[in-house]
Structure 1
Amino acid sequence: MASKYDFIVVGSGPAGSATASALARAASHPKVLLLEAGSSNSDRNLRVDGKRWLTFQNQDMNWGYKTTPQIHCNDRQIDYSRGKGMGGSSAINFGVYSVGARGDYDEWARIVGDDAFQWTSMQERFKSLETFHGNLPSGIDKKYANPKPSDHGSSGPLHVGFASEWERDLPAMLDIFEGAGFPLNPDHNSGNPIGMSVFINSTHRGLRSTAADLLVPLPDNLTLLVETPVQRLILKDNRAVGVESNGKSYFASKEVILAAGSLDTPKILMHSGIGPADQLEAYNIPIVRSVPSIGRGLRDHCFVPLVYKRVEGGTDRAAFYGDEKVMDAALDQWNQDGTGPWAKFACQLGVGWFKLDQLVSSKEFKDLPADEQKYLLGETVPHYEILTHFPVHWFIPEFPQSSLSYSCMLVFLYNAQTRGDVLLQSSDPDAPLLFDPNFLAHPYDQRAAIESLRDAFRVLKSDAYAKDNIAELAAPKSESDEDLLEYWRQNVSSSWHMTGTVKMGKPEDSDAAVNSKFQLMGIDGLRVADLSVAPVLANCHTQAVAYATGLTCAEKLIEEYEL
């Protein structure tokens, strides 16, 4: 006989682990089942801080998704990596722990008509999730980082903070930004990210923190099953009563909560007969409920790199990355105590979020709906991001060893107006959907891409930065609109911040699939608790948003069921 639980949670990424952990730790101790399609990811060596940039290349931990050819990006197929295994994408992401803008959450609350998503409520959840380590290395001035304890948590399961050792040229780079007119921000996680900061890492003492940490110790009323991919829901009389995995059934007496992410939650729904009727009919999937908005509304951030070869000795990277023996010795040191070069190089980066006056004055901005303009003009809402010290040599095939003394900055496009789709391509529930983010399709996005690069050149072409450049390794041909946009088309990458494919909204909203209680409208006993529901793509690297989204869903369930 199949086992029965109170709640079943599908997916062990940040949202799913936060939901399952909070439910299981509720006072009434309900029986919770957490299902993960991948393996346990339990090897400590998968959590080396400085190798966070390489982990996503581990094919056992990555679904290996790609986009469809992107029409507005020279028909390129773009990497669309998603984490596979315990921790989901938190096990393969790049370790940036940012929460976004106060204005993001107030806008979320406005769209869905629920104050539970306002900044004041969401900040409390962020604080409950983290143990923040704000100590700076010896000799580092507090002007670079000086968070207020009141903005951070001290007893949560996620250990986040600053690296204990910084690369020698990082403070100097922050000074260059300040000299070019980019103000310093002592804490990008205060609710106002505007300014230049050092980013807060989801690592501590050289060790990556992932969603799996929310399940330690594992409550005895929480059952965790790995290598258990869910193909479809079990539905009875318009109610979700369980899930199917590889021919086996699992049942929930109260609710099924999907947290498989923006690319895979829609797949489970569609193969359960819940989704756009035309797609279901095309693949002979019986229609249980036609929900045209499922799979629509995909949003994502994207970025391009700017890379310059620097004068010899300008950075210390060549001596480390250019010598396999040095890297091996450093790994021995990391295995002993979590210190050394693998807890230093590319472990503390600079990051900044900025507004663009020239974007706001553009025709493309003025053509946006009034509500969107008001949101984008909010005090805390940035228009683009710059990230420094990215280890780009791992991402460019056959990167020349002679150029390891380099500087790489990433420029991120924020608040893109394009909406993409995830679509059925098979009646096989194990086949992925088609993923089309439709990058750079909207006129506003093209203008924002152009102006963000142009603004970044205020730093890159300043005397303080340019004097140490020897050669351009990756940069636009010129600062003309045409050359800047073509550089984006040819070099754009996803930021892997997929959001919005099972959008939350008010019951009367035609583009909404779930309500503010996370309930899939029209199906009882079914909730969606991952970033697919987010009606706002927050202005940050989104893992923190996923954790807080799952926690919010759990809080609503605990209150509703008096757990």
Structure 2
Amino acid sequence: MRPSCSFRFWVALVLLCSHCSFALIFDQVTDLLASNLTSFDFIIVGGGTAGNVLGNRLSENKEHSILVIEAGGSNADVLNIIVPFYAPRATPHTAQDWNYTTVPQAGLNDRSIPYPRGFVLGGSSSVNSMAYTRGSKNDYDRFARVSEDDGWSWQNLVQYMRKNERFHPPPANSPERYDPAVHSLTGINSVSLPKFLRDSDARVVETTSTLSQEFPFNIDMNSGSPLGIGWTQSTINNGSRSSSATSYLAPQYITRPNLHVVLNTRVTRVQQSNHTSRTGKPMFQTVEFAPSTGGPNRFSLTAKNELILSAGSIGTPHILMLSGIGDPSALSSIGIKPTHNLSSVGKNLTDHPFLRLSWLVNSTKTFDDAERNATLAAEEFDEWNSTKTGPLTDSASSQLGWLRVPPNSSVFQNFSDPSAGPLSAHFELLFANGIVGTPPPTGNYFTISVAVVSPTSRGSVTLNTSDPFAAPLINPDYFESPLDLALMREAVRSAQRFVAAPNLADYILSPVSVDTTASDDELDAFIRQNTNSEDHPVGTAAMSAVGANYGVVDPDLRVKEVAGLRVVDASVFPFIPAGHTQAMVYTVAERAADLIKAAFN
């Protein structure tokens, strides 16, 4: 959809009033250049989950000027972004998606699958499923061990989690669904519990009592100890999505005179300066960019202090390699002149493989009917639009769970435990009161989606052309490790045991996906044919200790052996967390902002 009249008005006002005491959002490269704003202390590549945090926090210092460059367009007035229940419609194959696909996946029967990434202000925080899960204490402490920097430990990052989160407690008379001690009420990014209770909610929670040994209830999985099943916490504010664009670039922040954002602008590479730093390192502080619509014109700007890549786990390695930063032989083979030897760029791609399982149920109170009935769907939208109440105010999953395979399982006879520690899950269960997407013509359904959240398979992001407008080659290499397939099999069996709970006997009628009688070989075949991505890529510009001979960034997120260039996004994670990644990205960005501020006081 086109930007609103009010949005276009503010853009026009910036162009007419570049000398005024405020700045907002430029819609095009040419608008920015026409404003004569060409001098910036910090240039941030990517107006996504991390980039907008940095834009906000670095502009707190009125002496620093900030430019955020976003490849996509405005998030304004796009209902599939704004309405929480419409989130699955935001990607793939939309104008707000980069519309990537993977290379054929050997572990998925050579299928190429969609690989959604947000191509819009707010990045993937504008198009994701909104789940806000911090992960476990073990996940962060492993970051600290690998980087040899205790600043990345859970204990030292809780302050940044709290800086990010503005929790909206439910009414005092609602069922106990969270631990107030875990949360912050004073942060920027809104987080809340489901407002609209669904038919399956009480059944899921009751099962945590009837099968408590395997599926214990967890009052608050954001405590750092997430194991068990609990209520989903989501980035939703008063019935609408809370993204980095709506929170960190809210009106009280975007009107700062030193904060500037330009949309629809594709960064094509970063460039080395003609001089070196005081320590003799090559300087990379110039960014080359072009209109996202393409064309031969290229423009460039140089940051006075730092250039920061926040283009995500696909975009950041893509830009680095286009700039000659990566494996020299691989870059030379496609006509890119190597500028800095850093062979880890694009390696270590890690993602959560994801699979949906559904059952026919004895109920007429699932959200399937609204997906088939245009009149009912219109009524639900009218309720949301007029009062911000009703079933569209929440995401599809009201509960989720984090579970481990028992240590004596045969799965670990030939493999060591891949998780970060005893508080980290091996797999996830997500519960939904219907089929997410398009249901069959008749019937009502219950869905448990499963994901391997401690995977050991590692893939890559590579190039086969020097054309900056061509998509990179994305290879998550799902199930390259047989352990991941075994863990997915355990996750499916766990979901099947959940629906066999005695209290669900009059509710669950029959499986839609795969029967409990399936052999392991039959189940593996089903998994390979139906698994997709949970859309959590990380690790392609991973941090490592200062003296390590691998990795892309040091513990302060500066590109190794380079000056003036830093990376702040999910690509710096050395391991994937056992949780949805957006909360960790926000946390990393909040700490990164303090690291940058300390370097440029």
- TM-score range with shorter-chain normalisation? over 0.9
Q: Is the 8 A contact 2:93 2:99 kept in 1?
A: no
Q: Does 1:409 align with 2:443?
A: no
Question: Take 2:413 and 2:398, find their aligned partners in 1: how far apart are those partners?
Answer: 31
Spell out the pairing of 1:458-473 with structure 2 (5 A cutoff): 458-473=497-512
TM superposition shift of 1:511: 2.8
Q: Which piece of structure 1 moves more, 161-170 or 431-440?
A: 161-170
Q: Which piece of structure 1 moves more, 52-61 or 271-280?
A: 52-61
Question: Take 1:147 and 1:101, find their aligned partners in 2: how far apart are those partners?
Answer: 16
Distance 1:2 1:87, change over 3 A: closer
2:14 aligns to what?
none
1:350 aligns to what?
399
Distance 1:494 1:434, change over 3 A: same
1:122 aligns to what?
157
Distance 1:318 1:232, change over 3 A: closer
TM-score by length of 1: 0.93
Question: Take 1:495 and 1:180, find their aligned partners in 2: how far apart are those partners?
Answer: 27
Question: Take 2:108 and 2:211, find their aligned partners in 1: how far apart are those partners?
Answer: 31
Q: Secondary structure at the match of 1:189?
A: helix
TM superposition shift of 1:431: 0.9
Spell out the pairing of 1:142-541 with structure 2 (5 A cutoff): 142=176, 145-148=177-180, 150-181=181-212, 182-212=215-245, 213-216=247-250, 217=252, 218=254, 219-236=256-273, 237=275, 238-246=282-290, 247-313=298-364, 315-343=365-393, 346-347=395-396, 349-357=398-406, 361-362=409-410, 364=412, 367-368=415-416, 373=417, 376=419, 378-389=421-432, 391-394=434-437, 396=438, 399-403=439-443, 405-476=444-515, 478-541=517-580
Q: Does 1:83 align with 2:122?
A: no
Q: Is the 8 A contact 1:2 1:251 kept in 2?
A: no
RMSD: 1.9
Q: Is the 8 A contact 2:203 2:503 kept in 1?
A: no
Q: Is the 8 A contact 2:50 2:569 kept in 1?
A: yes
Q: Is the 8 A contact 2:40 2:66 kept in 1?
A: yes
2:28 aligns to what?
none
The size of the alignment, in residue pairs, is 545
Structure 1 unaligned spans of 5+: none
Distance 1:477 1:366, change over 3 A: closer
Q: Is the 8 A contact 1:61 1:85 kept in 2?
A: yes
Q: Secondary structure at the match of 1:456?
A: helix
Structure 2 unaligned spans of 5+: 1-35, 276-281, 291-297
TM superposition shift of 1:154: 0.9
Distance 1:2 1:215, change over 3 A: closer
Distance 1:36 1:503, change over 3 A: same
Distance 1:508 1:479, change over 3 A: farther
Question: Take 2:507 and 2:516, find their aligned partners in 1: how far apart are those partners?
Answer: 20
Q: Which piece of structure 1 moves more, 49-58 or 512-521?
A: 49-58
The one-letter code sitting in structure 2 at the alignment partner of 1:323 is N
Question: Take 2:286 and 2:420, find their aligned partners in 1: how far apart are those partners?
Answer: 44
1:131 aligns to what?
166
Distance 1:172 1:6, change over 3 A: same
Q: Secondary structure at the match of 2:430?
A: strand
TM superposition shift of 1:51: 1.1
Question: Take 1:517 and 1:365, find their aligned partners in 2: how far apart are those partners?
Answer: 38
TM superposition shift of 1:476: 4.8
TM-score by length of 2: 0.87
TM superposition shift of 1:318: 4.3
TM superposition shift of 1:365: 6.0
Question: Take 2:178 and 2:75, find their aligned partners in 1: how far apart are those partners?
Answer: 34
Distance 1:80 1:376, change over 3 A: same
2:66 aligns to what?
32
TM superposition shift of 1:278: 1.9
Q: Secondary structure at the match of 1:61?
A: coil
TM superposition shift of 1:364: 4.2
TM superposition shift of 1:136: 5.2
Residues 11-70 of structure 1 show CA distances to partners (whole Å, capped at 9, x for unaligned) of 0111111122111113x5311110000011111633012212212246110011111111
Q: Is the 8 A contact 1:167 1:348 kept in 2?
A: no
Residues 534-553 of structure 1 show CA distances to partners (whole Å, capped at 9, x for unaligned) of 01211111111111111121
Question: Take 1:86 and 1:178, find their aligned partners in 2: how far apart are those partners?
Answer: 43
Q: Does 1:111 align with 2:146?
A: yes
Residues 112-170 of structure 1 show CA distances to partners (whole Å, capped at 9, x for unaligned) of 011111102222111111110121595x532xx1312x311112221111122211331
